[in-house]
Amino acid sequence: MTRKHQPKQASPEVYERIYKMFMAPVSAFDCGAKCGEHNGGAPICCSTDVAIPIVDKHEWNLLQSRTDLWHEFEIKDKATEKELSDLHEDCRAIECKGARFCERENRSVSCRTFPFFPYITRERDFIGMSVFWTFEDRCWVQSHLQIVNLRFIDEFVAAYELLFDHDMDEFDANKEHSANMRRTFTRWKRPIPLLGRDGRCYKVMPETHEVVPARFAEFGKWGYYEKDLPAEPAANWADLDPQALKGLADTIGAKAPAK
């Protein structure tokens, strides 16, 4: 049975503002080329076999008015039907023509943000962004968080601040997703990676909810990327959070600042 929610409140105009303010790429290079090596050449975030974009009806109306890039996703098996069974009644599962035909200005919010979601504490504070952990074995970025650009973080935060101002159901959904992450990582006995609103690297201790400074090397590498050498970090980490780079310098050829 479909769960009832409050109607989605963000208008097409709100999403148009988000699209204008949130154009920054995750990294300074095409990270999709990394995961595409293991997905038939297509980035996993551009493949509905891996991740299905979800939009609300207002964002869908905007996309339909701007481009023919998108169409509604066709459910082809019982597993996908079950995956989408609890979808908000105001939301749509959609699919694009593929990465080769990408129109960056017409990407959905879920495309622009992948593989991150807004992390919200038990006290209802939006403190930064964490990862959709179910993709960690396939998403190259999740094994190399040091490549994330500060501009991406800034625009991510601004976009979600605007969206949350207009759609409290979206806020609550991400709050629940954050709580689910804490439960999962408590079972796994792992810290939660967090890229803070201030452009610094943190970890959330899931059992205690404590948020403390962290180093990227603490989060490990997963799946296809377990044996990767660390990727070259974005410049903002050396400028804003040099301690986060400790443990990476010996293998990337860049000297981390001394204490």
**Domain residue spans of the chain:** 12-252
User: pLDDT tens digit string along 146-161?
Assistant: 999 999 999 999 999 9
Is residue 134's pLDDT more than 70?
yes
Q: Is the pTM higher than 0.75? A: yes
Positive or negative torsion for Cα 94, 98, 99, 105: negative
Distance CA 107, CA 191 (A): 31
Q: Is 142 helix (H, G, I), strand (E, B) or coil?
A: helix
Nearest to 73 by CA among 42, 49, 95: 95
Q: What is the pLDDT of residue 158?
A: 98
> How confident is residue 237, by pLDDT bands cut at 50, 70 and 90?
very high
Is residue 256's pLDDT more than 50?
no
Residue 3: which region, alpha, beta or left (left: phi > 0; alpha: psi -120 to 50)? beta
Average pLDDT, the chain: 92
C-alpha separations of 259 from 60, 200, 228, 240, 241 in Å: 50, 16, 26, 14, 12
Q: What is the pLDDT of residue 8?
A: 57
Scored b (16 or more CB within 10 A) or e, 182-210 reads beebeeeebbbbbbbbebbbbbbebeeee
Q: What is the mean pLDDT of residues 50-78?
A: 95
CA 106 to chain centre: 17
- Structure-block tokens of residue 21: 């303010």
User: pLDDT tens digit string along 72-104?
Assistant: 999 988 888 888 888 888 999 999 999 999 999
% of the chain residues with pLDDT over 70: 93
Nearest to 254 by CA among 148, 141, 146, 142: 146
Q: What is the mean pLDDT of residues 181-202?
A: 98
Q: H or E stretch including 250?
A: helix 249-252
